[in-house]
Amino acid sequence: MNQPTSIEKSRTAEEFLKGIWKENPVFVAVLGMCPTLAVTNTAINSLAMGLATTFVLAFSSLLVSSLRKVIPKQVRITTFIIIIATFVTVVDFMLAAIVPQVHKELGAFIALIVVNCLILGRQEAFASKNNIRLAIADALGMSLGFTFALLCIGIVREILGSGSLFNIPLFGSGFEPWVIMIMPPGGFLTLGFLLLFFNWMQKRRKEKAEEERGETRYEEAREFL
């Protein structure tokens, strides 16, 4: 393989970075909702789910991207799903062997990574159209963004719902945990309010930008006069 030029390098970096913030799969694209809400009742589970998804996404993207010229167009979705399902089976057995406790808590949700729209979406939209380096950069960026989002939700839910973080108690005995946060409604509410927060930040940034533009226009007008 020939050496990547600096343009290619910066493109790789760009594809990697976009998944973490600008096109964050959870907060911006709202993909892969089931695992996002189902397993984020503690920070540890969120991390495990994030890493499992990272593994599956990275290896599926690698395989799909390297086979992109061989896979016939008509059966591409089926092929992607078989590839993804294979890696999910690997991760399922791996977690059961290495961390049986976490595997038990995540239960069927590990198997459900197969139908995470985020993974299939990346294969269809990116890995099947780009070379291996870009595909891996995209996969790693997206899964890092996904893990980050899961951790955000998991940390909020664990602190409020159990008064601890990574199983380490944070508050004294006077703290009354909000049990609702580790129950299903807590997942919906936490993500809802996080999205609300991001919307609000975006709106403020836009208003600020407009304000600045308004000021410069005013100055320009004064100069003109």
**100 touching other proteins, by CB under 8 A:** no
- Subset of residues 77 to 96 that bind other proteins, contact rule: CB under 8 A: 78, 81-82, 85-86, 88-89, 92-93
- Tokens matching residue 75: 């059966």
Q: In the chain, how many H helices and how many E strands? A: 10, 2
Amino acid at 119: I
Question: By CB under 8 A, is residue 33 in contact with other proteins?
Answer: yes
- For other proteins, give the closer residue by CB, 151 or 194: 194
At residue 169, φ and ψ (nearest 5 deg) are: -65, 135
Q: Which is nearer to other proteins, 72 or 185 (CB)?
A: 185
- Does position 209 interact with other proteins (CB under 8 A)? The reply is no
Q: Choose the stretch contacting other proteins; rule: CB under 8 A; options: 5-13, 35-43, 60-68, 133-141.
A: 35-43
Q: Does 34 bind other proteins (CB under 8 A)?
A: yes
Question: What CA–CA distance (Å, rounded) separates 110 from 39?
Answer: 10
CB 209 to other proteins: min, Å: 16
Residue 168 phi, psi dihedral angles, 5° rounding: -100, 120
Q: Judged by CB under 8 A, which of 1, 7, 108, 221 binds other proteins?
A: 108
Taking the complex as a whole, how short is the minimal distance between the CB of residue 174 and other proteins, in angstroms? 26
The identity of residue 214, as a single letter, is G
> Which span (54-62, 65-73, 114-122, 160-168) binds other proteins, by CB under 8 A?
114-122
Is residue 80 within 8 A of residue 60, CB to CB? The reply is yes
Q: Which is nearer to other proteins, 110 or 136 (CB)?
A: 110
* Dist. CA 139–CA 141, nearest whole Å: 5
**Cα-Cα-Cα-Cα dihedral sign, residues 141, 142, 143, 147:** positive
Among 115, 132, 151, 165, binds other proteins (CB under 8 A): 115
Residue owning tokens 């993804």: 84
Q: Which stretch binds other proteins (CB under 8 A): 10-18, 59-67, 168-176, 195-203?
A: 195-203
Nearer to other proteins, 81 or 160 (CB): 81
What's phi and psi for 218, nearest 5 deg? -60, -45
DSSP class of 74: G
Residue 38, interface with other proteins (CB under 8 A)? yes
Q: Which of 142, 158, 175, 148 is nearest to 57 (CA)?
A: 142
CA 141 distance to own-chain centroid: 8
Give the footprint of other proteins on this chain (CB under 8 A).
Answer: 30-31, 33-34, 36-38, 78, 81-82, 85-86, 88-89, 92-93, 108, 111-112, 114-117, 120, 180, 183-189, 191-193, 195-196, 199-200, 203
